[in-house]
Amino acid sequence: MATIDKQSVRAEVDKVKAEFDALCAAGKVNDEVRVLMRSMLMIIDLILAIFMERKTRKTSTNSSLPPSQTDKDDSALPASGSHGKGKADRSAAAGNTRTVETATLSEVTFCDHCGENLAAVPAQAHERRTRIDILFEKVVDHVDAEIKVCPACQQQSRGAFPADLAGPLQYGDGLKAFAIDLMVCQMVAINRVRKLLKAMMGVGLSEATLLKFVLRLHQALEAWETAAIAQILTQPALHVDETSLQVDRKKHWIHVYASGEITLKCLHRNRGKRAIEDIGIIPRYGGVTIHDCWASYLSYPHCGHGLCGSHLLRELTFIVDANGYAWARNLKRLLQEACKAVSQNPDKRLDDKAYARLQRRYRYIMTRGEKALPPIPPKPSGKRGKLAKSDAHNLWERLRKHESAVLLFARDPHVAFTNNRAERDLRMAKVKQKVSGCFRTERYAQAYCRISSYLQTMANQGINPLIAIQMALAGKVG
């Protein structure tokens, strides 16, 4: 049996169209047959477009599916020798660390070759080898307050304790910062954190104690979050995105707002406009929001909108793989060339002449795409709802409707080509859910969002997370 693939099926359909057009041009087809065949060919084009899309598998390279939900593909892996990018960490250690450095001299007393005594011969040079090790040290500070009885009034008086010793037993900010860093940054489960601290200190901390550390930092960062929201509202461009998070076996959503060095994560039970209104950032924002064309974001006309180029490129790749449309291939190439031109321009934007040329090419490709796509049949009378369309039709209509948002990166230097910033900031939340499970209560999920927002913001500034946590616990941020 002959093998049938996408190219052969397309070729046969195009051959039938060409033969039919030749017959029509020769006058060998009457009007009734011509209308009937045109309708049948239109239906065949629609069926073929949808069939090809369903036969083409979606992966992380041609859709928004994450790599974890698709088969492993070597072509999707980063190239060998590539290095991750990010803010370089400052060379600063936490304040509760101590470095003990020693140097030992290995003397030469006799010659290795002839045995001559070299004790009195001065050394010409030194060769050093270094060993770095770690020693866990538990520091226990006792404060004994005197209690005295006044001989005059017979009343007891007690010495004052430091302000950070409110009870018989307290844990220092260094220990708290280390435990919080393990639970939030390193995404270690609470039970494993307890075992690790037990092995290091010889003291077992309960789960409730560790959760109190988290809640204390959550409360300490309330003023910082308010100040961060006020600062992010003044930014010219804002990356926004959302992802699901399981809380008490129910789906919640983390909404991220990122701009500059600031990252804010907010938890809400809903995903769409209700969550956006309750969070209250976008309704008060007047700059440009960069997103993946989610309808809830587009419902705010007072904001500018920029669409993520990475999403569009992946969708165009799928259309090329599924249907082989030339317009999708050309548009993908055009966006890539425009992105490269903008990145190489010192102003990070195209001048008016270059942007006008880009816009003309964009519209020309869209016009060619309209002719290449099979026409949508009229909606039958009495039918409710929208007509089902192929992915190619939906993408083409979205690209035509939001042309200014697609090309905004080329004329506004503050608008990035992609929304990868927001997606990177959300990625660790998914990793935490996968590594250490979901949250039991919404209270601690809210705490995680605020703390991780603060630590991500500090990481964008190159600040050590242990230092950042101790600064917050000491009340030095806000």
User: Mind listing the pLDDT tens digit for each residue in 247-275?
Assistant: 998 999 999 999 999 999 999 999 999 99
Identify the pLDDT of residue 260.
Answer: 92
- In the predicted model, is pLDDT for residue 207 greater than 80? yes
Range of the domain at 17: 9-48
Identify the pLDDT of residue 14.
Answer: 73
Q: How far apart are CA 414 and CA 231, in angstroms?
A: 16
Q: Are 265 and 429 in contact (CB under 8 A)?
A: yes
- Indicate whether 177 belongs to any domain: no
How many domains is the chain partitioned into structurally?
2
Q: Which residue has better confidence, 24 or 156?
A: 156
**Domain edge (last residue) among 17, 32, 48:** 48
Query: Which of 12-21, 300-309, 317-326 tops mean pLDDT?
Result: 300-309
- In the predicted model, is pLDDT for residue 392 greater than 70? yes
Q: Which residue has the tokens 């990070």?
A: 348
pLDDT confidence tier of residue 339, bands split at 50, 70 and 90: very high
Of the given ranges (30-34, 329-333, 399-403, 422-426), which has the lowest mean pLDDT?
30-34
- In the predicted model, is pLDDT for residue 73 greater than 60? no
- Indicate whether 287 belongs to any domain: yes
- Average pLDDT on 100-106 reads 86
- In the predicted model, is pLDDT for residue 158 greater than 80? yes
- Indicate whether 211 belongs to any domain: no
Identify the pLDDT of residue 400.
Answer: 95
- Indicate whether 153 belongs to any domain: no
Render pLDDT for 221-247 as a digit per residue (tens, 0 to 9): 999 999 999 999 999 999 999 999 999
- Indicate whether 297 belongs to any domain: yes
- In the predicted model, is pLDDT for residue 4 greater than 60? no
- Indicate whether 257 belongs to any domain: yes
Count Cβ atoms below 10 Å from residue 1 Cβ, excluding itself: 3
- Average pLDDT on 17-30 reads 78
Identify the pLDDT of residue 89.
Answer: 59
% residues pLDDT > 70 (the chain): 86
- Indicate whether 316 belongs to any domain: yes
- In the predicted model, is pLDDT for residue 368 greater than 50? yes
- In the predicted model, is pLDDT for residue 466 greater than 80? yes
Mean pLDDT value across the chain: 86
**Token pair for 195:** 């075992």
Q: Which residue has better confidence, 354 or 21?
A: 354
Q: How far apart are CA 117 and CA 262, in angstroms?
A: 66
Identify the pLDDT of residue 317.
Answer: 93
- Indicate whether 340 belongs to any domain: yes
